[in-house]
Amino acid sequence: MKPFVIGISGINAVDNPGPGIGVARSLKEDAALNARVIGLAYDAMEPGLYMDWVVDRSFILPYPSGDGEAYFDRLSFIRKQAGLEFVIPNLDAELPLYIKNARLIEERGIRTFLPTMEQFKLRGKDRLGEVAGRIGVKLPKTKVVTSLDQFCEAVEELGLPVMVKGSFYKAWAAYTTTQAIAHYHALVAEWGYPVIVQSIVTGDELNVIGVGDGEGKSLGAVGIKKISVTALGKIWTGVTVKQRAMLEAAERFTREFKWRGPFELECIVKGDDVFLIEINPRFPAWVYFATGVGVNLPSRLVRAALGEDLPPAPDYDAGKLFVRYSYELVTDMVKFQQAVTRGEVGMTHDAMPT
């Protein structure tokens, strides 16, 4: 059977890992899919370039900026060179470019399975209230501000401590007004307006990963609790949970918004109350956890995109443990040389120059 060639970005399996390697491993575990994984990297130091048991061949891409012409030309080149048929972009910075140009990419013979731009915009923290209301969960008391005066009023009204958040990225806790104002200025300087001020809600930090088919049906979902995280807040150990209200909210999210593609909902759960904290419109870096408990979401996403009539999503057990670990590989310098000079790793006919 001819391999199905899938491009995966986010193969930066570093201390703040991208989701790519988890997605690639998941696809490889579906033997019947016969996936040939093409790593799409932005730097010769991304570990996935060298993990040849997961990533069959890799290419360095230009950054996904501007109108994306150079980026899409590179994808076309990869299609010509390696038969690229499908791409799963896994990084936040790539998604707007892919979503805006979905048709252009398709015209070049490469398929994707992503949310629409309207769906993508729902991840904005200034839209979370609307989402929370429609999926039946709560939102911590939130104020969206566009000036320092409004910000100070919001902090006063909500009462300290508060979370100070950018619309899409960054979030800090502030315990004093001075600290809050410093975070406000830092956010405005880096990301602009609006700035979100939110009451701090305490409870269990639970997340759910899922994939929607774009027509209101869930292709599967798995809930987890992060038991320990790194200094960067990334999961190191976790456990599967079956928090009914959160899983029902994920189901409603796919149904209500006809969500297409992968997503992660970050929640805080206190008793029966579920508070929505963040929506990520992509696979999280811990995506392999779901695969490990029998819910292979990357594989189901690809199969759904190919028009397969999928059986209902499999169930999973609560109480399965996830442990991330560090590991090393040693390889030949020729691979690094290929990445730097040719922007490509995985050709079999190359040797180190003598």
Q: Find, among 268, 263, 250, the residue nearest to 206 by Cα.
A: 268
Angle CA(215)–CA(220)–CA(222) in degrees, nearest 5? 140
Nearer to another protein (CB atom), residue 55 or residue 268: 268
202 binds another protein (CB under 8 A): no
Q: Which of 145, 206, 277, 345 forms a contact with another protein (CB under 8 A)?
A: 206
| Terminal alpha carbon distance of the chain | 39
For residue 154, report the phi and psi dihedrals to the nearest 5 degrees: -65, -40
Nearer to another protein (CB atom), residue 271 or residue 353: 271
241 binds another protein (CB under 8 A): yes
Closest distance of CB 245 from another protein, Å: 9
Closest distance of CB 318 from another protein, Å: 3
Q: What is 145-207 written as a DSSP string?
A: ESSHHHHHHHHHHH-SSEEEEESSS-EEEESSHHHHHHHHHHHHHHH-S-EEEEE---SEEEE
Nearer to another protein (CB atom), residue 131 or residue 206: 206
Q: Which of 29, 30, 153, 204 forms a contact with another protein (CB under 8 A)?
A: 204
80 binds another protein (CB under 8 A): no
Nearer to another protein (CB atom), residue 80 or residue 242: 242
Angle CA(226)–CA(227)–CA(233) in degrees, nearest 5? 60
Site size for another protein (CB under 8 A): 16
Closest distance of CB 16 from another protein, Å: 23
Cβ atoms within 10 Å of 117's Cβ, excluding its own = 12
Q: Which of 80, 185, 242, 342 forms a contact with another protein (CB under 8 A)?
A: 242
Q: What is 270-336 written as a DSSP string?
A: ETTEEEEEEEESS--TTHHHHHHTT--HHHHHHHHHTT--PPPPPP--TT-EEE---------HHHH
Nearer to another protein (CB atom), residue 197 or residue 276: 276
Q: Find, among 221, 222, 219, 218, the residue nearest to 300 by Cα.
A: 219
Please state whether beta strands 162-166 and 195-199 pair in parallel, antiparallel, or not at all (unpaired). antiparallel
Residues 211 to 230 in contact with another protein, rule: CB under 8 A = 224-225, 227
Closest distance of CB 132 from another protein, Å: 20
243 binds another protein (CB under 8 A): yes
Residues 310 to 349 in contact with another protein, rule: CB under 8 A = 318-319
Residues 260 to 299 in contact with another protein, rule: CB under 8 A = 269, 271
Closest distance of CB 354 from another protein, Å: 56
Tokens describing residue 235: 């999961």
Nearer to another protein (CB atom), residue 165 or residue 225: 225
Nearer to another protein (CB atom), residue 117 or residue 227: 227
Q: Which of 239, 266, 310, 343 forms a contact with another protein (CB under 8 A)?
A: 239
* Number of helical (H) and strand (E) elements in the chain, helices listed first: 12, 15
Return the bridge partners of 40, or none.
9, 59
d(CA 294, CA 26): 10
Nearer to another protein (CB atom), residue 134 or residue 320: 320
Tokens describing residue 198: 């939110």
249 binds another protein (CB under 8 A): no
DSSP-assigned letter for residue 233? S
**Using CB under 8 A as the criterion, which residues of the chain lie in contact with another protein when the complex forms?**
204, 206, 224-225, 227, 238-244, 269, 271, 318-319
